[in-house]
Amino acid sequence: MPDTVALHTIGCKLNFSETSTIGNQFLLNGYNLVPLDSSADIYVFNTCTVTENAERDCRQLIRKALRRNPNAYIIVTGCYAQLRPDEIAGIEGVDAVLGSNEKFQLFSLLNNFNSSNIACVHVGSLDDVNEFGDAHSTDADSRTRAYFKIQDGCDYNCTFCTIPLARGTSRSMDPNKAVEEFRKLVEDGYKEIILTGVNVGDYGKKYNVEFYDLLLKLIQVEGEFRIRISSIEPNLLSDGIIDLIAEEDKICNHLHIPLQSGSPEILNSMQRRYTIKDYENVIMQAHEKIIDLGIGVDIIVGFPGETENHFIETHNFLRDLPISYLHVFTYSERPDTKAIYLPNMVKIKERKRRNKILRILSEKKKRSFYENMVGKISTVLFEDAAIDEIMKGFTSNYIRIINDYDKSVINKLEDIEITGLTNDGFCTGRLMDTKYSIDIV
């Protein structure tokens, strides 16, 4: 009987929470979890389909797993599996393909984990899905930070995106259950809980509540913790949420707010639900109200019809905003999306050039943000993963910190004075209640 399982997540923080829940099912059924680079009996890949690279990564990981153990049982689930199950089933060595809903039913759907020559496919329709699949960090995940899924699906119709097809319509966890599960994570010792979903700000429609209402309930839970919002659409980042973050220490002063394009014409072609001016107003309001706010931005380059002038508009718009870093995505054609039918496709070489330019801008933005934090005090959470006697963690506003390893401060919220920057993208600091500090150049 197989007894070792390796899990791997491709994609977003929502996928991480779901992978952990899948891993916990294996633990409860007597299996042992091992690292991905081990020779496991079973490999589970939770996939993404946002970009072509994510799909290519999945295929490469399957081949690597089979080189480690040619007799391994390969399970592929997630968004890629939901959208193109037959394509995945045709990959040599794949034994089971599970859709978005079926990923949490693998022990009832799969009779055994003995590899065969024919892949079994369990992928249902999402046309009328109302079920919310609970997911959060578990014993299968050794992180000090917990991923907590509160929302799934999306009702938006962005022309480039396959997520509504892979995840279904927007739906949320019952508010009372969300508070109960959140409380359990705090009791289990997690000090940072990341609220995840496809469109977190859209939380609560069915229950006639809003995301702001849930935040109010969560910050009232007893215990030492902080809440990080994984990502929130600019049109859903309300004045109330901004004010709450500004006033409440239990919510991280960090926001990740997708933009996708700084060109009004391209933004309109993407069918986003805000204007450039709307976005600028939200950023400026949040920046002015929340002290030392870290702001991340998603951007897509090379969208159909994006001329050099459109790209310059985007670059200059981002350059002038008080943001901290960018997540830059190169546009890739996604089947069954409106964008693939748009005229004036941008050449691949040009897409890559624009990506590189914005990545350079991101590094400049991040370094400037880090430099402005030198001499200031922030709250850091160090994770228990020491390498060469060095520990790493994140501040509330998402600055990466390194320090001399000190077991007594692992998984604790500690105040730190930021003292400098390293050459490899970290800040150094002096813990306020200890003698430990580090100065690496």
Same domain, 347 and 388: no
Domain membership of residue 248 (yes or no) is: no
Structure tokens at 332: 């890739």
Asked if residue 155 belongs to a domain, the reply is no
Beta bridge partners of residue 146, listed in sequence order: 193
Domain check: are 352 and 329 in the same one? yes
- Residue 312 sits in a domain whose CATH number is 3.30.750.200
Q: What is the pLDDT along the chain (441 residues), one digit of tens a residue?
A: 679 999 999 888 888 899 999 999 999 999 999 999 999 999 999 998 877 777 788 889 999 999 999 999 999 999 989 999 999 999 889 999 999 889 999 999 997 898 877 889 999 887 766 678 877 777 666 668 899 999 999 999 999 999 999 999 999 999 999 999 999 999 999 999 999 999 999 999 889 999 999 999 999 999 999 999 999 999 999 999 999 999 999 999 999 999 999 999 999 999 999 999 999 999 999 999 999 999 999 999 999 999 999 999 999 999 999 999 999 999 999 999 999 999 999 999 999 999 999 999 999 999 999 999 999 999 999 987 666 788 999 999 999 999 989 889 999 999 999 999 998 899 999 998 654 444 443
Q: Indicate the pTM of the whole model.
A: 0.91
> Residues 401, 337: one domain?
no
Q: Domain boundary residue among 94, 122, 150?
A: 122
Phi, psi torsion values for 382, nearest 5 degrees: -90, 140
Which of 299, 300, 297 lies closest to 321, judged by CA? 297
| Structural domain of 42 | 4-122
Dump the DSSP string for 203-220.
Answer: TTGGGT--HHHHHHHHTT
Backbone angles phi, psi at 206, to 5 degrees: -60, -30
Quick one: 359 and 422 in the same domain? no
Query: Which residue, of 327, 343, 373, is where some domain finishes?
Result: 373
Q: Let me know how many helices (H) and strands (E) the chain has, helices first.
A: 13, 19
Q: Contact, 186 vs 193, CB < 8 A?
A: yes
305: in domain: yes
Tell whether 290 is covered by a domain.
Answer: yes
21 Rama class: left (phi>0) / alpha (psi -120 to 50) / beta: alpha
For residue 158, being part of any structural domain is answered with no
Q: Do the domain assignments include residue 169?
A: no
176 in a structural domain? no
Does 20 share its domain with 102? yes
The Cα 233–Cα 253 span in angstroms is: 16
Same domain, 288 and 330: yes
Both 111 and 73 in one domain: the answer is yes
Residue 16 lies in a domain: yes
Q: How many separate domains does the chain show?
A: 3
Let me know whether 276 and 364 are in one domain: yes
